[in-house]
Structure 1
Amino acid sequence: MAQQPAKGAAGSGRRRRLSLEDWTEAGLQLLVTEGLGAVKISRLCTELGVTKGSFYWHFSDIDELMKAIATHYCSQDNDAARGLTSIEELPVRERLARMATMLVDDRAWAAEAAVRDWARTDPRVAESVRALDQRIMAVVESAFRELGFDAGAARVRAGTLVYAGIGFVYGRDSLTTPTVDEIQELLAVLTRQ
């Protein structure tokens, strides 16, 4: 959950003003932990220890907050949190190995599942998720191209990893999650010329 607002200077008892990011992070955390129905203005105000006036300073209504949450989660600015930014700088084989290992990282899956479920009912969120998927696909496809695969072979191999990742989001509760070694074995098969 987002941190409590800090007290103002010299212990004056005044809290710092929450930022747009404070609200979007708190909203995303609530979405992840309790679902879309839990994201309410009054609930967020209680969680953050502020009045509704603080909310309305940033947003005209809950829909505007929800749009900000979706935009933030799926934005290129959030790529650093996902590790995409640093991955693009790695040598190609290490880049693919790191991305493949991320497929079974538990830390991000709750948020990913919550946002993808939300995208099923909100076209704006669905568009943001599509854009994110396309960025990820482009990074993976580019890596296979760097390994010397032609455009078609690179697309098929990238699709295998990207679709596997999406499948892991939806299958985690009913299927055994592959180990890192199993994911690396899949990657070895996909990178074999």
Structure 2
Amino acid sequence: MNKTILYVRASTSEQTSDHQLEQATKAGFKIDEVVTDHGVSGVSTHLADREGGRELLHKLREGDALVVRWLDRLGRNYRDVTDTLRSLLDRGVTVKTVINGMVFDARPKTATEEAVRDALIGFMAAQAEAQAQATKEAQRAGIAHHKVASPEKFKGRKPTFTREQLDQVIALAEAGQGQSAIAKATGVNRNAVIRITQNPAKAEAALERWGS
């Protein structure tokens, strides 16, 4: 029996699978199954390289329908999206979008319908990549601005210990002293002692960023 599968790529905490499923249901789709990738970028990872993406490609069969909120859920790289769509269509999988109710029919009835479908695929995939690139450029500009306006923000939390205290903590830890004893002997907060002993290089790097 043919299935309708919703694929969700939720790259942020606001983009939940429940929210995208609710949108699809309200748009009139009867979803049989949901496949999700959480916290995954559509720019740097191809569909076939994601855990959920691999599961999706394995499950889809000829005659099935794949539903996505928008083509950018499949990816934001032009060639990846177009290659993925054409591969799915060649396998007999129809792809539908919740936004605007677009349908990319795996079996178009005429050559004209097929030509229109293919043109739309190219246009929409290019649009997704352009939008991703614009977002990335805006983020870079924002980061550059804040590095100048608020340099402390990009240094991370200021260390609560000096370089001398760092050396003391490491030396006492190597001598087999317990964390509470080290904290008492050096005056360094016990939580900071724990962080230092777990990752001395990271503690050293923090001091470097703050010029200590």
Higher strand share: 2
Q: Which has the higher contact order (CA 8 A, sep 6+)?
A: 1
Structure 1 length normalisation: TM-score?
Answer: 0.30
